A and B are shown apart, each in its own frame.
Chain A
């Protein structure tokens, strides 16, 4: 760290410390765009070397993609909320409740199309409920998330009871192995990219995340933009609920527990601040989810015990966050409640 590097600027010798050089690189726009991908590739390359190539096979890559699909879909949707600076970690339990209601509908009608539709609609409705609480009733989003997390988990437990809600196994297996998941995921991802980068809503959401007062004075309809953000997040959550149902063929009372935190973990690992702003990216959550799953798979294949994996993941997560974030002049804080 104490290494001093000299560079010439305007015929003067300017001495830059290593930390200053690092800050210059980190502040480049391209750095935040490519850093998560570079980390993902580095992890793949590292584990490919450590496992003598067996990590880098089509089967393992497909498995990583499949594992990251639920968290990835949740994270892509939640990006629209994180971008505005709202912190919502109830996504996992919203998904759990949507999936439980979907499974309940299946048990009463045995129709998978209705189940899929109901799960998606429930995801959207529950996120509209969160929207009403945080935007219309002005409750801090983190507070809404804390209440929502426990409330939705309790309602899910009440619906599911002690057992599980089962869906026809063969039907789920066909849906899982077929093209449904990939096509629906690609459509959703494409829609999110389109809205985020090529419509005024995406720009407005990033503007709101950067400075909400400035956005308001620039004439942006903040309520409408955030409503669309919550709707898209709800769509992602509903879709993730459908993937959850067809992946396991059942819904238990603990479905979705802890997933909200995983979504935040994935989003931050994907190179985005959970407090949003101009540097937010729609794909960060999915990149982060891929990184987490690649890390888990790689550590398992190298022979790290499953209990230690979580600790290693925590250390790597903190290292990546430190590398990818600017060091504040004083202590970062934010009034959340």
Chain B
């Protein structure tokens, strides 16, 4: 009985944030423009495509960040994976699924390269990320006459916009990543490394292999995210001048919010899915209000800022609350003595 109650409590805590956000915008949108957040099947399709991309990218950021490694090169890995994978898939006639598999493999390969370099050079991850971003952007810019990849109107690629397929991909990511992080020896070792790398190393955990696997997983996920990003836009144009980093920064909010929700659900992968869903619903809700992209960005990042301020100082807030209670109690006791 207690077990069931705990389970229900976890489920409620996990879905509360996205549900509250949905309800808030549903009411606001109906009051202001007379229509809800999601009205047609096209809205659901758009939500799902954005969700899978944002979810996979947020998971990719989280793969290394938890262990204190901020990999800025995952944006570059995404461009290399999608453009190389996309061009190959079009040339070989492999269609959308082929492109997805190839982009994930090439993204994973890029991740392994960064991981191996990191393990051997042992320079700061952020610095290595900057250097590798420059190289990956250059690589993605150099193929296909700097045109990137266009899948709009190409035969066999419409599956990437199919809602059932997208839901399937989300479920597969959720299951695979949950097994990897929660029920495998890799996840167990990763948690030990996140706790204390030195102690984990001294206890016989191969921190180097674990690190390379983290980079590999991040690479695979960025490849997957990039394919759905390209499917949503119809094409993916390469960028230079470290502009690929903006993809990394744009997905920080879902990742941070998701990691926070994950503390309630006791499953980071599920938490990040809920975080991504919350942010995507928020953006669709704001679009309904006919707010421009820049205004939306300002609102989202002010909210992120407030969330981070709360999350960083919540210990202090709780401490002050206890302190106030103690002072009130002391005052009350003094009054009673008098």
Interface pair A331/B198, CB less than 8 Å apart: no
Alpha-carbon gap, A139 to B309, bound state (A)? 7
Interface pair A261/B122, CB less than 8 Å apart: no
Question: Residue B125 contacts which of A150, A310, A327, A333 (CB distance < 8 angstroms)?
Answer: A333
Interface pair A154/B294, CB less than 8 Å apart: yes
> Which stretch (B23-31, B138-146, B227-235, B266-274) binds chain A?
B138-146
Question: Residue A334 contacts which of B68, B123, B301 (CB distance < 8 angstroms)?
Answer: B68
Is there a chain B Cβ closer than 8 Å to A70's Cβ? no
Is there a chain A Cβ closer than 8 Å to B171's Cβ? no
Interface pair B297/A311, CB less than 8 Å apart: no
Binary per-residue interface labels of chain B (265-299) against chain A in the complex, 1 for a CB within 8 Å, 0 otherwise:
00000000000000000000000000000110110
Interface pair B302/A311, CB less than 8 Å apart: no
Interface pair A331/B312, CB less than 8 Å apart: no
Is there a chain B Cβ closer than 8 Å to A158's Cβ? yes
List of A residues within 8 angstroms of B131 by Cβ: 314-315, 317-318, 321
B71-108 with Cβ < 8 A to chain A: 72
List of A residues within 8 angstroms of B65 by Cβ: 336-337
Instruction: Take A257-B243, A307-B142, A311-B134 as given contacts and tell me if A139 and B308 are in contact as well, using a CB distance cutoff of 8 Å.
Output: yes
Smallest CB gap from B128: residue in A: A318
Smallest CB gap from A264: residue in B: B130
Interface secondary structure of A, over-half rule: helix
Question: Residue A147 contacts which of B70, B142, B243, B301 (CB distance < 8 angstroms)?
Answer: B301
List of B residues within 8 angstroms of A327 by Cβ: 121-122
Interface pair B135/A311, CB less than 8 Å apart: yes
Interface pair A265/B119, CB less than 8 Å apart: no
List of A residues within 8 angstroms of B297 by Cβ: 150-151, 153-154
Is there a chain B Cβ closer than 8 Å to A149's Cβ? yes
Is there a chain B Cβ closer than 8 Å to A157's Cβ? yes
Is there a chain A Cβ closer than 8 Å to B153's Cβ? no
With most chain A CB atoms within 10 A of its CB, the pick from B117, B142, B301 is B301
Interface pair A322/B252, CB less than 8 Å apart: no
Is there a chain A Cβ closer than 8 Å to B201's Cβ? yes
List of B residues within 8 angstroms of A140 by Cβ: 312
With most chain B CB atoms within 10 A of its CB, the pick from A137, A139, A273, A337 is A337
| Chain A nearest Cβ from B272, distance in angstroms | 14
* 4 A-B pairs with least C-beta separation: A314-B134, A311-B138, A333-B68, A318-B131
Interface residues of B (CB under 8 A from A): 65, 67-70, 72, 117-119, 121-128, 130-135, 137-139, 141-142, 146, 197-198, 201, 207-208, 211, 240-243, 245-246, 249-250, 252, 256, 294-295, 297-298, 301-302, 304-305, 308-309, 312-313
Beyond known contacts A314-B138, A333-B69: 6 more, CB 8 A cutoff: A147-B308, A261-B133, A307-B146, A317-B134, A332-B123, A334-B68
